[in-house]
Homo-oligomer: A and B are copies of this chain.
């Protein structure tokens, strides 16, 4: 199978996709509600030492709220103590009980203090400005209680009184929080200090992303992404263990394959909305997702059901490969992602992820007793591994280069390790050199840094993994995070995505994976479980 032909016969039929959608629907979770009250009224302060230059200080207990009177032009900020996802409820009245005209309010729900300073006219982003959690609401009849219809992800809520017939009173403001899970899981007893904080913060991050599907971030995107799901499923397996929700997501993704049978990068729960976002390196993670799901919960049926689709993802990826230079062919309509790093040459990492996919497929074939398939995948794996080593390893420094410029990046070295293109010894060397080499294209992305943690472990560098968790994820906590952020640059600048800092999500599921490592280390230390190799080995 050097150049296997695409097997269009394995493109799922419309009837098959509809059946998958229906199965996903039967797995829809009942959301758990918990009413959260504000802890304090706060004010925002400019502070050059604070993360993003703004922090909040408490100015009154939240219990003071019903005693305050508000007029047009007034505003206040509530702190709900920690990040949550949910719906706001306001019990309001006009002092004196007479409301002769509507009330007009502006709300700004904020994950981080700096978001409280948002002004719509300064927005520069390339994604829809509607992601910013700013809302204008009119209330026609008071006294009464209203529940805002849209969902927010936040810790802080700013309220601006834009118009009121008379003095306005908020008797109660509550946050009806929702998640597929309720309580945070128990923290491993051996964890303490910053590791305990990291574990809790990761669990809170995942909780707030576990809604009616695994979302990437509950503030922005708010939907199921295949790459994020793969990491969320890993953490879920050692924390909440809601395997039903993982399976719902697998069915939702499968229901949204394109006309070639490629799994989408993301899927919408509303069947009226069809994604057009396809990330081949995400689709290549599907075999690993199935394998880890089976390992965690033992559901062999779902692996059998989706094995052909998993194989098909690798088959589809072959159309992007070319042997001569190990560069990607042009692929209009597809987005090669790997990482957000600007200017990243992705070819080598993509080839490595293809190899990673083949290793997982071989393991799935072994599990399902398809020895011919297993042999075929291993044959294909060895063929491309040799090519890639010959074409992209720099004989001078032993590092993987990528693209026409021969770029050296963290992404290439990390996936070089995880794909097995590097031997562990070569990998250990490349990961060390990459730290030292100034020209290395670096990431500020917890998604890639999760794979760096895995790569360290493959190379036997557990201490480096522990240090990375402390430096990078611990770094966010030392800056005030109570959920982990979508992007983070520990050098002190706040990375911008999509052209505006207000678009960046401060609770992003792909950042929660230290929980996975901390839990597994705890279990291994306690003699409860061996720490499995994150990727199948190739004989």
A residues within 8 Å of B by Cβ? 72, 96-104, 120, 127-131, 135-136, 138, 140-144, 150, 162-165, 220-221, 268, 270, 272-277
Contacts and interface: CB of A to CB of B under 8 A. Distances in A.
A131 B101 contact: yes
A283 B499 CA distance: 62
B163 A99 contact: no
A272 B128 contact: no
A140 B128 CA distance: 11
Given A141-B270, A143-B272, A273-B141, A101 B127 contact: yes
A275 B98 contact: yes
A434 B468 CA distance: 91
Contacts of A268: 141
A435 B423 CA distance: 105
A221 to B, nearest CB: 8
Contacts of A128: 100-104, 163-165
Contacts of A143: 272-273
A163 B104 contact: no
B144 A130 contact: no
A131 B139 CA distance: 11
Contact of A162 (B130, B141, B162, B165): B130
B277 A100 contact: yes
28 contacts: A72-B129, A96-B276, A97-B273, A97-B274, A98-B273, A98-B274, A99-B273, A100-B127, A101-B127, A101-B128, A101-B130, A101-B131, A101-B220, A101-B221, A102-B128, A102-B130, A102-B131, A103-B128, A103-B130, A104-B128, A127-B165, A128-B163, A130-B162, A135-B138, A140-B150, A141-B268, A141-B270, A141-B273
Contacts of A127: 100-101, 165
A272 B144 contact: yes
Nearest to A270: B141
A163 B270 contact: no
Q: Specify how many copies of this chain sit in the oligomer.
A: 2
Given A103-B130, A270-B141, A276 B136 contact: no
A274 B221 CA distance: 44
Contacts of A220: 101
A130 B141 contact: no
Contact of A276 (B72, B98, B104): B98
Nearest to A101: B128
A274 B96 CA distance: 10
A273 B142 contact: yes
A101 B98 CA distance: 39
Q: Which of A96, A98, A129, A274 has the most CB of B within 10 A?
A: A129
Contact of A138 (B102, B120, B140, B150): B150
Contacts of A120: 162
Nearest to A277: B100
Contacts of A103: 128, 130
Contact of A136 (B100, B101, B135): B135
Q: What are the nearest 3 A-B pairs in CB distance? A: A129-B163, A136-B136, A102-B130
Contacts of A138: 130, 135, 150
Contacts of A162: 120, 129-130
A130 to B, nearest CB: 4
Contact of A130 (B104, B221, B274): B104
A256 to B, nearest CB: 12
A120 B72 CA distance: 13
B163 A130 contact: yes
Nearest to A106: B136
Contacts of A96: 276
A135 B129 CA distance: 17
A75 B97 CA distance: 39
A162 to B, nearest CB: 7
Nearest to A141: B270
A165 B103 CA distance: 30
Contacts of A104: 128-130
A23 B534 CA distance: 73
Given A130-B164, A135-B138, 16 more contacts: A97-B273, A97-B274, A98-B277, A100-B127, A100-B221, A101-B128, A101-B130, A102-B128, A102-B130, A103-B128, A104-B130, A120-B162, A128-B163, A128-B164, A130-B138, A141-B270
A37 to B, nearest CB: 24
A270 B16 CA distance: 52
A136 B272 CA distance: 24
Contacts of A273: 97-99, 141-143
A100 to B, nearest CB: 7
A285 to B, nearest CB: 21
Nearest to A142: B273
A97 B273 CA distance: 7
Nearest to A276: B98
